[in-house]
């Protein structure tokens, strides 16, 4: 990792469960701070009222319930690295305090009057683009630019299917040790099911599935019946959902066409109107032919016609409105 030995702030983008914290920890372990603390904070789990106290600590009596002094996560991570997961969930007030920490490398405990010097590397993570949050007024622009010294994109597991069995075997090895088992691997049917599934929970979901399957297996290989139903039957479920979508799309188009006057088009006069009607009819036929080719899937039809889905809807509506 080129960025690991530096003191750059890093933004890690990725869906839930893709291993953002693992990557942050690896950056820390390959840095000059590896012998210092690594603190991981889930900002999505911090309440608005207690976030400042959790991050920066507080002095005794600084608010109701503050019976003792508390050392915050930044102070505990001093000299090392702090990882702020789902950083976009922090409130505006906390972002202001965080900006001072980043800019001045100083902080104060809640209710405190003394500045505390900090030497902390900050790594943040988000499942949404911080620049997008900034445009919507959810995240401070200046704070975003402070963090954005380097960024890493972690693709979802479904986009790196060649890695699925690699991770599955790694989790199997760990679970074998945990449960004192010696399962050798996966049956071919199980491997196929693991590769086919979409893994919305990514690595976190895969790890839990392997742990469960290992617990249920008493033979040398994990068989497909040890996998959860939604994984072992994924292809069939996908087919059923696709068929339902096709039926729904067909019903929508049939309803739309049925609303067009069947017997007689609108009476038009003049060459210009006749030409427009001919264009509408020809265009509608092209659209219907394209939709028929893709089983009335509007998204696929739009791609086939090289237009977006909204344009396709507008074209269909335009046809009905001009007959």
pLDDT digits (tens, 9 = 90+) for 268-321: 455 555 666 666 677 777 887 777 776 667 777 777 787 877 787 777 666 655
Report yes or no on 242 lying in a domain. Answer: no
- What Cα–Cα distance (Å) separates residue 36 from each residue in 32, 79, 105, 116? 9, 6, 17, 18
What CATH number is associated with residue 194? 1.10.8.60
| Pair (269, 196) in one structural domain | no
| Pair (310, 185) in one structural domain | no
**Continuous segment of H or E residues that includes residue 143:** helix 141-147
| Pair (279, 317) in one structural domain | yes
| Pair (223, 139) in one structural domain | no
The parent domain of residue 267 ranges over 251-321
Check the CA dihedral 25-16-136-152 and report its sign. Answer: positive
| Pair (144, 204) in one structural domain | no
Of the candidate ranges 182-196, 199-213, 263-277, the one whose mean pLDDT is the lowest: 263-277
| Pair (222, 259) in one structural domain | no
State pTM to two decimals.
0.69
| Pair (263, 197) in one structural domain | no
Tell which of 232, 265, 284 closes a domain: 232
Check pLDDT > 90 for residue 243.
no
The DSSP bridge pattern shows strands 121-126 and 81-85 to be parallel
What CATH number is associated with residue 38? 3.40.50.300
pLDDT-based confidence at 104, cuts 50/70/90?
very high
Tell which of 154, 188, 211 closes a domain: 154
| Pair (111, 63) in one structural domain | yes
Q: Give the total number of structural domains in the chain.
A: 3
Kindly report, residue by residue over 156-173, the tens digit of the pLDDT.
Answer: 998 999 999 999 999 999
What's the pLDDT score for residue 247? 54
pLDDT-based confidence at 194, cuts 50/70/90?
very high
The two structure tokens encoding residue 204? 């976190």
């Amino acid at each position: 990792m080129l960025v690991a030995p530096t003191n750059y702030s890093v933004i890690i983008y990725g869906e839930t469960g893709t291993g953002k914290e693992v990557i942050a920890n690896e950056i820390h372990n390959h840095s000059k701070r590896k012998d210092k603390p690594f603190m991981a904070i889930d900002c999505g789990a911090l309440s608005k009222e207690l976030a400042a106290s959790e991050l920066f600590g507080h002095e005794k009596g600084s608010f109701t319930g503050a019976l003792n002094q508390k050392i915050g996560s930044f102070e505990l991570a001093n000299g090392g690295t702090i990882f702020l997961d789902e950083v976009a969930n922090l409130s505006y007030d906390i972002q202001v305090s965080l900006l001072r920490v980043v800019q001045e490398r100083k902080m104060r405990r809640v209710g405190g009057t003394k500045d505390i010097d900090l030497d902390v590397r900050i790594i943040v993570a988000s499942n949404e683009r911080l620049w997008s949050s900034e445009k919507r007024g959810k995240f401070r622009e200046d704070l975003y630019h402070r963090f954005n010294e380097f960024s890493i994109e972690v693709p979802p597991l479904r986009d790196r299917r060649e890695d699925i069995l690699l991770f599955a075997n790694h989790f199997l090895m760990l679970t074998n040790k945990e449960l004192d088992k010696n399962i050798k691997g996966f049956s071919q049917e199980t491997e196929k099911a693991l590769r086919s599934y979409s893994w919305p929970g990514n690595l976190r979901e895969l790890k839990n599935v392997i742990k469960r399957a290992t617990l249920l297996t008493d033979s040398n290989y994990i068989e497909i019946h040890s996998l959860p139903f939604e994984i072992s039957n994924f292809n069939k479920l996908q087919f059923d959902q696709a068929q339902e979508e096709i039926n729904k799309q067909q019903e929508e188009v049939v309803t739309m066409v049925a609303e067009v006057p069947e017997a007689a088009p609108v009476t038009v006069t003049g060459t210009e109107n006749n030409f427009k009607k001919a264009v509408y009819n020809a265009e509608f036929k092209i659209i219907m032919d394209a939709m028929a080719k893709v089983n009335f899937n509007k998204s696929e039809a739009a791609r086939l016609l090289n237009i977006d889905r909204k344009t396709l809807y507008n074209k269909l509506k335009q046809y009905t409105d001009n007959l």
